[in-house]
């Protein structure tokens, strides 16, 4: 997460929003109230979709990129231009979950807010890429300790864990089919995991056991 956040007030004029985007080399800025609470987001796309383009003789830089001092619909402030409500992330949201949200919503970044909806940072695509720089040994230890031992309470050595370039392979025998499915699912959710190869077997298929119990009348 990046904590140095560029933001604008809802009454910021069109040219100020354009200047912040261009001057800070960002594609969107949060719109916040006087207390720092998020109201919406203005993106470069919001401006470019509505702006009246200037001719080729306009100066380069800010004016040539965003053309005039207001958009074609007459909207002149960030509050009028912004998209709301904004898609946000909580401070405790995992990077993996943030990546899914950004992918599903076709977003380049997410504002990060606290419990009072105050902007405390932003998560961008570069932040997401950092999770895939984790060492294989670190991922292996997390799978073995947090998933298998602490969450599923499996005895050490019952499941072999191998990690190669972020791909986790689970091999061994667990108690039930549900345990096997949960082991794979929890491993997939860990930051830095690219994929999971499931080579697990199980002693009991609870679906078969449940169907074998005849109802009593």
**Residue whose tokens read 């402030």:** 77
CA 95 → CA 58, 101, 146, distances in Å?
A: 42, 10, 17
Judge contact between 153 and 182, C-beta under 8 A.
Answer: no
215, part of any domain: no
**Pair (118, 157) in one structural domain:** no
Same domain, 191 and 147: yes
One domain, residues 72 and 116: yes
Of 74, 107, 131, which one is at a domain's C-terminal end?
131
Structural domain including 148 reads 134-209
**Same domain membership, residue 65 and residue 120:** yes
Task: Give the CATH number for residue 20.
Answer: 3.10.580.10
How many residues are listed for the chain in this entry? 217
Residue at 175 is within a domain: yes
- Note whether residue 171 is domain-resident: yes
Residue 179 lies in a domain: yes
Which of residues 131, 162, 179 is at a domain's end? 131
SS3 letters for the chain? CECCCCCECCCCEHHHHHHHHHHCCCCEEEEECCCCEEEEEEEHHHHHHHECCCCCCCCCCHHHHHCCCCECCCCCEHHHHCECCCCCEECCCCHHHHHHHHHHHCCCEEEEECCCCEEEEEEEHHHHHHHHHCCHHHHHHHHHHHHHHHHCCCCCCCEEEEEECCEEEEEEEEEEHHHHHHHHHHHHCCCCCCEEEEEEEEEECHHHHHHCCCCCC
The verdict on residue 198 lying in a domain is: yes
Same domain, 124 and 204: no
Residue 121: per-residue pLDDT: 84
Task: Confirm whether 3 is domain-assigned.
Answer: no
Q: 111 and 140: one domain?
A: no
pLDDT (tens place) for every residue of the chain, 217 residues total: 677 788 899 999 888 888 888 888 888 889 999 988 999 998 887 777 655 443 443 434 444 444 444 444 455 788 888 888 888 888 887 776 777 788 788 887 888 998 989 988 888 777 777 767 788 999 999 999 999 999 999 998 999 999 998 899 999 999 999 999 999 999 998 888 888 999 999 998 887 755 555 555 5
CATH number of the domain that residue 142 is part of: 3.30.1340
**Smallest Cα–Cα separation from 43: which of 12, 13, 81?**
81
Q: Are residues 26 and 115 in the same domain?
A: yes
* pLDDT at position 60: 45
Domain count, the chain: 2
């Amino acid at each position: 997460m990046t904590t140095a956040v560029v933001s604008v007030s809802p009454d910021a004029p069109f040219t100020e929003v354009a200047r912040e985007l261009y001057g800070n080399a960002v594609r969107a800025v949060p719109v916040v109230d006087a207390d720092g609470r998020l109201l919406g987001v203005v993106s470069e796309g919001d401006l470019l979709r509505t702006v009246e383009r200037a001719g080729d003789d306009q100066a380069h830089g800010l004016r040539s990129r965003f053309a005039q001092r207001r958009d074609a619909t007459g909207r002149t402030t960030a509050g009028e231009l912004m998209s709301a409500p904004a898609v946000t992330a909580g401070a405790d949201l995992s990077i993996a979950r943030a990546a899914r949200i950004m992918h599903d919503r076709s977003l380049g970044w997410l504002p990060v807010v606290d419990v009072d909806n105050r902007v405390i940072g932003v998560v961008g695509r570069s932040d997401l890429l950092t999770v895939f720089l984790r060492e294989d040994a670190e991922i292996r230890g997390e799978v073995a300790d947090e998933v298998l031992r602490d969450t599923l309470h499996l005895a050490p050595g019952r499941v072999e864990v191998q990690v190669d370039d972020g791909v986790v392979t689970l091999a061994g025998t667990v108690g039930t089919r549900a345990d096997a499915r949960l082991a794979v699912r929890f491993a997939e959710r860990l930051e830095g995991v690219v994929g999971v190869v499931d080579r697990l077997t199980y002693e009991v298929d609870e679906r078969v056991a449940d169907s074998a119990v005849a109802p009593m009348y």
